[in-house]
């Protein structure tokens, strides 16, 4: 059910907006999980998405 909802959202969202939402979510999750072993990976993901987003503007 969650996967279906995500697929529908992705089909209905412009690529730039979807990228922005993914970047925002990655930063939010990284902030929420601060101190866990996957935090650095989440921040790297968020920064990478931010760089792509910046290059698309």
Q: What is the pLDDT of residues 5-50, one digit of tens each?
A: 667 766 777 888 888 888 888 888 888 887 788 788 888 888 998 8
Whole-model pTM above 0.85?
A: no
22-32 pLDDT, tens digit each:
888 888 888 88
Is residue 57 predicted with pLDDT exceeding 70?
A: no
Q: Does the residue 32 lie in any domain?
A: yes
Q: Does residue 19 fall inside a structural domain?
A: yes
Residue 3 lies in a domain: no
Q: For residue 55, give the nearest of 27, 17, 18, 16 by alpha carbon.
A: 16
Residue 1, pLDDT score: 56
Parent domain of 20 = 14-56
Report yes or no on 34 lying in a domain.
yes
Residue at 30 is within a domain: yes
Q: At a CB cut-off of 8 Å and minimum separation 6, what does 18 contact?
A: 9, 10
Strand, helix or coil at 16?
A: helix
5 part of a folded domain:
no
Contact assessment for residue 57 and residue 20, using Cβ atoms and an 8 Å cutoff: no
If one counts the domains in the chain, the total is 1
What is the Cα–Cα distance from 30 to 10, expressed in whole angstroms?
Answer: 22
């Amino acid at each position: 059910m969650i996967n279906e909802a995500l697929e529908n959202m992705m089909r209905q969202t412009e690529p730039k907006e979807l990228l922005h939402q993914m970047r925002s979510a990655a930063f939010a999750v990284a902030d929420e999980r601060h101190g866990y072993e996957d935090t650095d990976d989440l921040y790297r993901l968020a920064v990478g998405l931010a760089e792509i987003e910046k290059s698309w503007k």
